[in-house]
Structure 1
Amino acid sequence: MAAKTDRKSRALLRSLPFAAIAAVACVDLLAGPRLGFLPLLTLGPTFASVSGSVRRTMAIGALALAVSLPLAYVSELLLTPQNNLTIATIIAVTGASALASRLRIHRERELANVRLVAEAAQRVLLRPVPRRADDLHIGLSYTSAAAEAQIGGDLYEVVTTPAGVRLLIGDVQGKGLDAVEIAAWVLGAFREAAYDEPELSAVGQRLENSLVRHLSGEKFVTAIIAEVHDGEISLLNFGHPAPLVIRHDGHAFFAEPQTECPPLGLVSLSPSPARPSRLPFLDGDQILFYTDGVIEARDPFRNFYPLFERTKVLTDEDPQVALDELRTDLLDHVGGPLGDDVAMLLLRRRCDSGPSDDDGGRAAE
């Protein structure tokens, strides 16, 4: 739907210069020479500079000039000072529009290159997660925001350790390459600490220590670190949106933390250390982790995406298919490009699932 809307917008922009020239010509013929609408033919090259190339802008400017001559002849203004001024105006505006078009294209190329580098860095950092780990079936969805938006700092990771399956999902404050760099620090620290530290709180402390060494100012990272082991899931929440738990009988609730904890990078402001919350996580239960791009997504009427009411979407036996359906539902709700990156991680427990399959990773979208 977003691609279709984008194509329609581009087609409209491409036809707008011709529509403007045609409209001015018709109005000038109907109104006669007294009102002098011919200078408005400069709307053609002006509109062309918004989306067209330099060559196309010059061509439309030439078209506007060509249209002005027979109109001036019909109005008996050809070679008059008034018409000469109109011709000079069309030529000047066409030149200025061509220059503006060139500067716009140069700027667009620079932004595209920056975005390409950031997206490549994100793809390197955000490795495919395993489709199965121990008795967990895993679905992953990562959706980049619109091309006009900056790169976000959403991050995720799933690893199997001696302490159980541990995962991380987070969102870096801010946009651009700085956010990607911070995400790299967090992921690097987690991948080491998840194997080294026996306690989940110690993993969180390692991440905090790493960020404190690297961050400057008031930067921070909201995150959840989780561990699935022995029929329960432990959640260590650092200011991140609470995950959505869906029991095997369909009962759903948000797993709010028992104690509030600031985001990573600001944990030192908390009067007490972060402590994990523990919940039963049994056969058939599932839990959805997500970044704030999900719950902050708005429809054309500015209504937020009702995630809790959409739990019925997550019913397919394959968690990846269920998550893909939720992503489609989210995009349908927005009705256009997303304003922020969206990462979603769905875990479903199946105690009869057999051995883990760490090679069955699926790349983010």
Structure 2
Amino acid sequence: MTDEKPPTRQGALAWMPIVVMAVIAVVDVMAGPRIGLLPLVSLGPAFAGLVGGWRRTAMIGALALLLCVGLGVYNGLFVKPRGYTAMASVAGVTGVGIAAAVARSRREAELASVRSIAEVAQRVLLRPVPLTAGPVQAAVSYTSAVAEARIGGDLYEVVASPHGVRVIVGDVQGKGLAAVETAAVVLGAFREAAHDEPELVGLGERVERSVARELEDERFVTAILAEIRADREVVLLNYGHPAPMLVRRDGKADFPAPPSYALPLGLSAHGSDGPQPFRVPFAPGEQLLLYTDGVTEARDREGRFYPLGERTRLLDEPDAHRALEALREDLVRHAGGPPGDDAAMLLLRYHRHRDGAAPTG
């Protein structure tokens, strides 16, 4: 997302210094020297310094000086100090405008560099999920609560490992750089352990240990881990995270809850037992949506939560990415803009979802 202004607005701002000086000149000619509008010509380079580069500001300043001289001669002001005072005012404002334009250009260059780094960080931290992994197709959506934000505390990953397709979706407590750092720790541990650990419980324990070493001040991460094999089941491991939505072939939605709830990642020091894995049937023609609480806790103007279970029809689109984009757009409409919290969604469906054919991978 960029902060570029719309073309029409850019054009209006670019012409504003010229228009201001033209209006001042016309009014000054019509009103005569008694009104004393000549110093207001300096508004031209002043506006130019706010919206243009230093070269344009200098050109507008030179034009303002010529206009000032012309009006001063026309009004006979150079027989008094008044005309020279007006020229000094225009020259001074032009100099300040050039300095402001140079400083703004430097800040914009620095901001562009920071955004470029943020984009690289996003590609490393939240890299694109594979289009297909084992027997499933995958699509992901991330909606930031902050319009200019690139990355935040929500995380997701899909890994095709020798032990099946392994997935994580999580939500880091807190905001800002600390949340991004924690998300990086979780994803790094998950990506490494997903290939090594034969059991999903062992994978979860590896991630838990990594998070417990890094987190401080009672910070935590809610997460759900999933493992999909070719046996038409999905194994789930829930660390205090919202239950996923399983959309059956008839369009009905189930939210499979764990047999017992466990603490989020990072709170193992409190002595609670870890989550117990549980199996849920997951066959061709069905879809599994994992998400963060920014989805279900998004409110409309009347304070109503987003009714995710009533929006399964939006996932009927054959293309998984378009289906998820339709759901994201509906979420934004419900919230009247970006939701109050980051909202990540990961959609998994078998190959040939529409006709329910057997998996091909």
Q: TM-score, normalised by structure 2?
A: 0.76
Paired residue total: 354
Structure 2 CA distance for aligned equivalents of residues 196 and 226 of structure 1: 15
| TM-superposed deviation, 1:27 | 4.4
Residue correspondence of structure 1 range 270-309 to structure 2 within 5 A: 273-275=274-276, 279-291=280-292, 306=306, 308=308
**Which structure ranks higher in relative contact order (CA pairs < 8 Å, sequence separation ≥ 6)?**
1
In the alignment, which residue of structure 2 is the partner of 1:186?
186
SS of the equivalent of 2:88 reads helix
In the alignment, which residue of structure 2 is the partner of 1:39?
39
Residue correspondence of structure 1 range 124-139 to structure 2 within 5 A: 124-139=124-139
In the alignment, which residue of structure 1 is the partner of 2:359?
354
In the alignment, which residue of structure 2 is the partner of 1:174?
175
SS of the equivalent of 2:103 reads helix
| TM-superposed deviation, 1:189 | 0.5
* CA offsets 1:72-131 (integer angstroms, 9 cap, x no match): 444443453333333222222222222222222212222222221232233234444332
Q: Which has the higher mean CA deviation after the structures are superposed, 18-27 or 129-138?
A: 18-27
In the alignment, which residue of structure 2 is the partner of 1:363?
none
In the alignment, which residue of structure 2 is the partner of 1:214?
214
| TM-superposed deviation, 1:347 | 0.8
Counterpart code for 1:131: L
In the alignment, which residue of structure 1 is the partner of 2:156?
156
* CA offsets 1:267-308 (integer angstroms, 9 cap, x no match): 545855444565443332212234566678899x89999573
Contact 1:151-1:341 at 8 Å conserved across structures: no
Does structure 1 residue 323 correspond to structure 2 residue 328?
no
In the alignment, which residue of structure 2 is the partner of 1:104?
104
Greater Rg over alpha carbons, structure: 2
Structure 2 CA distance for aligned equivalents of residues 15 and 48 of structure 1: 9
SS of the equivalent of 1:355 reads coil
Q: Which has the higher mean CA deviation after the structures are superposed, 342-351 or 269-278?
A: 269-278
Contact 2:118-2:150 at 8 Å conserved across structures: no
In the alignment, which residue of structure 2 is the partner of 1:246?
247
Contact 2:295-2:306 at 8 Å conserved across structures: no
* CA offsets 1:250-278 (integer angstroms, 9 cap, x no match): 22366677766665335545855444565
Structure 1 CA distance for aligned equivalents of residues 242 and 254 of structure 2: 13
SS of the equivalent of 2:188 reads helix
Structure 2 CA distance for aligned equivalents of residues 344 and 19 of structure 1: 49
Identity percentage of aligned residues: 50
| TM-superposed deviation, 1:150 | 5.4
Q: Which has the higher mean CA deviation after the structures are superposed, 325-334 or 210-219?
A: 325-334
Contact 2:122-2:151 at 8 Å conserved across structures: no
| TM-superposed deviation, 1:179 | 5.2
Structure 1 CA distance for aligned equivalents of residues 103 and 337 of structure 2: 28
Counterpart code for 1:246: V
Structure 1 CA distance for aligned equivalents of residues 294 and 129 of structure 2: 20
Counterpart code for 2:104: R
Structure 2 CA distance for aligned equivalents of residues 249 and 347 of structure 1: 17
Does structure 1 residue 22 correspond to structure 2 residue 22?
yes
Contact 1:149-1:339 at 8 Å conserved across structures: no
Unaligned residue ranges in structure 1 (runs of 5+): 357-365
Structure 2 CA distance for aligned equivalents of residues 253 and 5 of structure 1: 44
Structure 1 CA distance for aligned equivalents of residues 52 and 305 of structure 2: 36
Residue correspondence of structure 1 range 38-117 to structure 2 within 5 A: 38-78=38-78, 80-117=80-117
Structure 1 CA distance for aligned equivalents of residues 8 and 335 of structure 2: 17
Counterpart code for 1:111: L
Structure 2 CA distance for aligned equivalents of residues 148 and 52 of structure 1: 23
Does structure 1 residue 313 correspond to structure 2 residue 318?
no
Structure 1 CA distance for aligned equivalents of residues 27 and 268 of structure 2: 67
Q: Which has the higher mean CA deviation after the structures are superposed, 271-280 or 105-114?
A: 271-280
Structure 1 CA distance for aligned equivalents of residues 319 and 202 of structure 2: 33
Q: Which has the higher mean CA deviation after the structures are superposed, 272-281 or 184-193?
A: 272-281
Q: TM-score, normalised by structure 1?
A: 0.75
Unaligned residue ranges in structure 2 (runs of 5+): none
Contact 2:144-2:150 at 8 Å conserved across structures: no
